[in-house]
Amino acid sequence: MFKRPAKGFCAPLLMLFAVTSVLPVAAAAGEANGGPAGKVNPFIGTGKGPGDSENLFPGAVVPFGMVQLSPDTEDKGLGYHYYQDSLKGFSMTHMSGVGCANEGEVSVTATTGAVVTDKAGLESPYSHDQESASPGYYQVRLKRWDVNAELTATERTGMLRFTFPAGKTANIVVPISHTLNNTSSAEIHMTGDREMEGYVENQVFCDAKGTYKVYFVIRFDHSFAESGTWNGTLKGGAASPNPEVKAVKQTNHEQWVGAYASWPSAAQAQTVTAQIGISYVDLEGARNNLKSEAEGKSFDQIHSSAVASWNKALSVIEATGGSETQQRVFYTGLYHSLLMPSILSDVDGRYIGFDDAIHNVKPGHELYGNFSGWDIYRDQMPLVAMIDPKRMEDMADSVALMYKQGGWIDRWPQINRYTNIMAGSPLTVIVSTAWLDGLHDFDMKTAWEGMYRDATEPAPAGKPYQGQIGIDWINKLHYAPNDKVEYGSVSQIQEDVIAYASLYRLGKALGKTAEAKTMYDRSLYYRNVFDPETRFFRPRNADGSWVPIFDPAEEWHGFIEGSGWHYQWFEPTDMAWVVKSMGQDLFNKRLTNFFDYEYPSWFGQYYNPYNETDLQAPFEFNFSGKPWETQRVVRRVLKENYPDTPDGIPGNDDCGAMSSWAVMSMMGFYSVDPTSLAYELTSPVFPKVVIHLNAPYKGRTFTIESSPDPEHLPYIQSVELNGKAHAKNWIRFQDMTDGGAIRFTLGAEPNKSWGAQPQDAPPSLSEEKP
């Protein structure tokens, strides 16, 4: 999901910036801890994109944590941008690399001297020379106040340690009206001389309807000497701090309210620590989360635990060899792949459902939310299924619970709200992938009911969910007509058929023969928008006529965030049919031209590395008899679009989608169609990678080995799988999860024989018999 670059964007200038940008030194604490966490640089992906900002946050978080405690350099928007030179404060929640203003609830900052309350007064310049970050830790000096701020986190709590200069009154300020989106209400009040509590109600992102609440409890490590609140307006200037009033509410969008606590100046520098627990359920949940995860623990203890959790999560994949830069890019990509979806259930198992009722998750499990469906079904969720299967089962069950409690399955749910963002039924693909991968510890009966309904019938009127766009027309015409479906008619059916194909395969596995046959037939509907004359997918009207003026390089005309050139490669479930219908020679000619750009940018007729629409395209030469071109193109994309700089993620990461592409590609494989269980091969960039497997998978490790200097040897000469010659240019998911080893022999020049025969290509839907 990506916002279109502004007109006049200069790609050559972007490339110059990408080469010359310099990252701050990673936090010494993170480096000293060793392990893969020491190889992660959270500043990668916080810089400039192609005419727009990249949106990753550098703050403190643990794998898939509810809390993402991070600095904000803007009042409304996406959080932190490396090129901005002042900080607004630190807030407890952030989504990772999405394309719309979001979250940023429970903001805290520090000042000295007299208490200030207005936005401009709370802001402080900062320098990258006095800033550092590593997994589970962030540090910066607030230059205006000469205060050093440090952040760390557990799954449901955050901790801030502020070191104030000698001789200055120390203040911690909580501008509770600050969020990164649109605060509709908020409340904060004192509960003694060491604690504050309240809630923030914020709007769902991307202008979707609905709000949600984040409850919080803030506890300081020692009693404050003075405290109070303020109650002002956004346009009315600074409001006077009032030590007599210990509670304040925001009831409209124009208010600017908050609270503060102060400590007298000291002869030596003094440190004040704030622990914050949050919950989406209620104050009791926030208080219990704080008690269970942080009470009695020091900042250093929590930081140490956060680093340990990251080392455990990242050590599932051991990549050895390669350059320091490659190691940093790889493990930072893996780090970004393990941030979302986020835990939403409290430590006691309670969570707020899509019916707004309080429920309890099964003991030993978690409830997850914030699924960037349109993006992550392509690679991030398959990666999580491979390396963290039990967590993946909980995520699949969370989708089933969404349907059970809310009535439908969304494309991009945020917290417990339907957003109806983007297209298709991506969560159907995610759940189907999990089951077909062999992960069965979730409620498939409920999930199947919800997925099948979404694939065959319109959502009920008057509900907060939308269902598949144009489903009535699809049921009637077997495609989405352009004169009836305004939002990307071609893309809509192309996305939908991926879900249909997933349900066909899932239905077969479940023994649902009739339903599987129905889904197989529907999965071929993409053919109804393929024009045999131009040999492009193109929009057509309800009367069957093709839209008369069609330029395949023109974006947004029947396509979502792309053009006909981008979407001619988007039939991942049935590439054999696309190659045959386009003609192998024309297919290869067009695909070669697609990657024949001088520099990466957002072009209408070339590969767009900044968005998800064509993540699979580099691997499609494996279907057309030229796998060596896949190997060449993948290496180019990795080199040009994943540098070790703030611009090191192409476009929005969209909750790990772009990062996961790099992680899998660097290991030497990617799945064009995850529910096919086929993983296309390319040349690894490391001499050795070991993937440690967990139950319920049969194997314990899967090892990937290649030649000693793979960086300068981009082409596969031969492959051995478990000691036997392997001519196919793909392997099965089960080949990996059963354990074993794959060995690549690489060379400087392409071997145009390996993997190039028709029988060497990955499977396609039309080759199956329903």
Percent of the chain exceeding pLDDT 90 equals 90
Q: Is 221 exposed, middle or buried (0-12, 13-18, 19+ CB in 10 A)?
A: middle
Q: Which of 542, 98, 143, 11 is nearest to 341 (CA)?
A: 98
Query: Tell me, what amino acid is at 720?
Result: E
**Rounded distance between C-alpha atoms, residue 310 and residue 258, angstroms:** 34
Helical ranges in 388-470 per DSSP H: 389-406, 426-436, 444-456
Residue indicated by tokens 């607030």: 142
Q: Using pLDDT thresholds of 50, 70 and 90, give the confidence band for residue 19.
A: very low
Q: So what's the pLDDT on residue 78?
A: 85
Contact 214, 105 (CB under 8 A): yes
**Rounded distance between C-alpha atoms, residue 319 and residue 176, angstroms:** 43
**Residue 22 pLDDT greater than 80, yes or no:** no
- Strands 147-153 and 157-164 come out as antiparallel
Contact 418, 410 (CB under 8 A): yes
Q: What is the mean pLDDT of residues 713-733?
A: 98
Q: Is 743 exposed, middle or buried (0-12, 13-18, 19+ CB in 10 A)?
A: middle
Q: So what's the pLDDT on residue 76?
A: 86
Q: So what's the pLDDT on residue 51?
A: 53
**Residue 52 pLDDT greater than 80, yes or no:** no
Q: Using pLDDT thresholds of 50, 70 and 90, give the confidence band for residue 8.
A: very low
Give the E-state strand segments of 722-769 in sequence order: 724-725, 730-732, 740-747
Which residues does 329 contact at the CB level (< 8 Å), separation at least 6? 44, 642, 643, 644, 648, 662, 666
Q: What is the mean pLDDT of residues 521-550?
A: 97
Which residues does 736 contact at the CB level (< 8 Å), separation at least 6? 386, 679, 691, 693, 699, 702
Contact 275, 219 (CB under 8 A): yes
300-350 pLDDT per residue, tens: 999 999 999 999 999 999 999 999 999 999 999 999 999 999 999 999 999
Query: Tell me, what amino acid is at 647?
Result: D
**Rounded distance between C-alpha atoms, residue 770 and residue 614, angstroms:** 28
CA angle 592, 594, 600 (to 5 degrees): 120
Q: Is 636 exposed, middle or buried (0-12, 13-18, 19+ CB in 10 A)?
A: middle
**Rounded distance between C-alpha atoms, residue 90 and residue 110, angstroms:** 10
DSSP string, 509-565: HHT-HHHHHHHHHHHTGGGGGEETTTTEE--B-TTSPBPSS--TT-BTSSSSSSBHH
**Rounded distance between C-alpha atoms, residue 770 and residue 521, angstroms:** 9
CB atoms within 10 A of CB 243: 12
Find the largest Cα–Cα distance for the chain.
82
CA angle 593, 51, 64 (to 5 degrees): 95
The predicted model scores a pTM of: 0.96
Residue 121, phi then psi, degrees to nearest 5: -70, -30
Q: Is 405 exposed, middle or buried (0-12, 13-18, 19+ CB in 10 A)?
A: middle
- Mean pLDDT for the chain overall: 94
Q: Report cis status (omega within 30 of 0) of the bond before 687.
A: no
Q: What is the mean pLDDT of residues 617-643?
A: 97
3-state secondary structure at position 131? strand
Q: What is the mean pLDDT of residues 28-47?
A: 80
394-409 pLDDT per residue, tens: 999 999 999 999 999 9
Q: How far is CA 654 from the centre of its chain?
A: 4
Q: So what's the pLDDT on residue 2?
A: 39
Contact 81, 47 (CB under 8 A): yes
**Rounded distance between C-alpha atoms, residue 491 and residue 283, angstroms:** 43
Q: So what's the pLDDT on residue 28?
A: 38
Q: So what's the pLDDT on residue 283?
A: 98
Q: Using pLDDT thresholds of 50, 70 and 90, give the confidence band for residue 450.
A: very high
* Tokens matching residue 139: 């540090």
Helices (H) and strands (E) in the chain, counts: 20, 32
3-state secondary structure at position 140? strand
**Rounded distance between C-alpha atoms, residue 416 and residue 269, angstroms:** 44
567-614 pLDDT per residue, tens: 999 999 999 999 999 999 999 999 999 999 999 988 999 999 999 999
Q: Using pLDDT thresholds of 50, 70 and 90, give the confidence band for residue 33.
A: low
Q: What is the mean pLDDT of residues 625-653?
A: 95
CA–CA distances in Å: residue 65 to residues 130, 304, 369, 380, 722: 26, 16, 11, 16, 37
Q: So what's the pLDDT on residue 683?
A: 98
DSSP string, 337-358: HTS-SEE-S-TTSEEE-TTS-E
Give the E-state strand segments of 165-246 in sequence order: 170-174, 183-190, 195-203, 211-220, 226-233
644-700 pLDDT per residue, tens: 999 999 989 999 999 999 999 999 999 999 999 999 999 999 999 999 999 999 999
Q: So what's the pLDDT on residue 7?
A: 29
Q: So what's the pLDDT on residue 770?
A: 77
**Residue 4 pLDDT greater than 90, yes or no:** no
* Tokens matching residue 673: 């169609």
Q: So what's the pLDDT on residue 17?
A: 29
Q: So what's the pLDDT on residue 220?
A: 98
* Tokens matching residue 303: 């930081």
Q: So what's the pLDDT on residue 574?
A: 98
Q: Which of 532, 530, 554, 555 is nearest to 540 (CA)?
A: 530
Q: So what's the pLDDT on residue 101?
A: 85
Q: What is the mean pLDDT of residues 231-259?
A: 91
Q: Using pLDDT thresholds of 50, 70 and 90, give the confidence band for residue 108.
A: very high
**Rounded distance between C-alpha atoms, residue 70 and residue 133, angstroms:** 10
63-92 pLDDT per residue, tens: 999 999 999 999 888 899 999 999 999 999
**Rounded distance between C-alpha atoms, residue 59 and residue 43, angstroms:** 9
Q: Using pLDDT thresholds of 50, 70 and 90, give the confidence band for residue 48.
A: confident
Q: What is the mean pLDDT of residues 156-175?
A: 98
168-195 pLDDT per residue, tens: 999 999 999 999 999 999 999 999 999 9
Q: So what's the pLDDT on residue 768?
A: 86
Quick one: DSSP state of residue 194? S
Residue bearing the bigger pLDDT, 769 or 30: 769
